[in-house]
Amino acid sequence: MLVHRIAALGVSLMVLTAGALTGGTAGAAGPAAARETAAGMVPVSIGAGGVVTMPSVVAPGVNTFKITTTRRNASLQLLALVPGYTVEQAEADVENGLEKGRLKALRRFEANTTLLGGATATREKAGKLAIDLEPGSYLALDTNKTGSPWLPFTVSGTDTGASLPAGASLRAIDSTTWAKSPRAIPRSGWLRFKNRADQNHFIAMVKLLPGKTLEDFATFLDDESGRPPIDFRVGIDSGVVSPGHDMAFKYRLPRGSYVLTCFWPDASMGGMPHAFMGMYRLVEVR
């Protein structure tokens, strides 16, 4: 029951933060934009039922996936499966492991996938995701929609020659720890997520309500009751990234204090989301 409620909190956070104030921002003109267009811009559209439409072949190297959607909120996630592990097995393991909290399924999913991150989009605002992909077979899906079909695509051909866009960088380290720096990030730009930890993680960064502190968030997690001290509508979400992988996504946030956390379930802790293991810290947006 405890784990179920915790998981429900994680899911609601992911769903509610998806698409809040992310995506393409001002400053679309200029040299950076010209480079993006020149090298590896991949259009992705997400329609009813979380159906993803994008090119079936993408060039290797760094691509920028521009995500548009007719849905209110959509969350693109990219991943690759170990050869021999099928989409059907992966989908079943997600349902049993992530939604029903069955640890064997969660462990099998984690052992057989490379999670590459993602980005959110809303009907009003496109999202942008930059990832360096090696040649191979991949899948794309909308994690904001249960039952979204997993779309296969191939990475092959000539390298784009592009590099990941410059911007602020947040790092996961050790097992379930956020690196202490930077303390603050700008209000908009590209945010890079480097997973240097030994577990899967995602960035869930959510704004603290006025007057609330990180201590209030800690108390909320400990008590598992009362009103959350965070505004679920204002935040960003990176999609899930496997150890050793990097990605970057475009964001825009109002100035303020945010909790940087992760709700990925830890199989070695009975499926407890990382937030409940202390994986959170303050980030100022200036």
Cβ proximity to Cu ion, 201 vs 212, nearer residue: 201
3-state SS, the chain, equals CHHHHHHHHHHHHHHHHCCCCECCCCCCCCHHHHHHHHCCEEEEEECHHHCEECCCEECCEEEEEEEEECCCEEEEEEEEECCCCCHHHHHHHHHHHHHCCCHHHHHHHHHCEEEEEEEEEECCCCEEEEEEECCEEEEEEECCCCCCCCEEEEECCCCCCCCCCCCEEEEEECCCEECCCCCEECCEEEEEEEECCCCCEEEEEEEECCCCCHHHHHHHHHHCCCCCCEEEEEEEEEEEECCCCEEEEEEECCCEEEEEECCCEEHHHCCEEHHHHCCEEEEEEC
Closest contact distance (angstroms) between CB of 275 and Cu ion is: 8
Closest contact distance (angstroms) between CB of 245 and Cu ion is: 13
Closest contact distance (angstroms) between CB of 67 and Cu ion is: 23
Closest contact distance (angstroms) between CB of 107 and Cu ion is: 15
Cβ proximity to Cu ion, 78 vs 126, nearer residue: 78
Position closest to Cu ion via CB:
262
Residues 207-266 that bind Cu ion (CB under 5 A): 262, 264
Cβ proximity to Cu ion, 50 vs 265, nearer residue: 265
Closest contact distance (angstroms) between CB of 213 and Cu ion is: 22
Choose which of 128, 207, 252, 274 interacts with Cu ion (CB under 5 A).
274
Cβ proximity to Cu ion, 153 vs 178, nearer residue: 178
Closest contact distance (angstroms) between CB of 279 and Cu ion is: 6
Cβ proximity to Cu ion, 36 vs 266, nearer residue: 266
Q: From 148-156, 183-191, 210-218, 271-279, give the range in contact with Cu ion by CB under 5 A.
A: 271-279
Q: From 76-84, 214-222, 251-259, 272-280, give the range in contact with Cu ion by CB under 5 A.
A: 272-280
Residues 145-204 that bind Cu ion (CB under 5 A): 201
Contact residues for Cu ion (CB under 5 A)? Answer: 201, 262, 264, 274
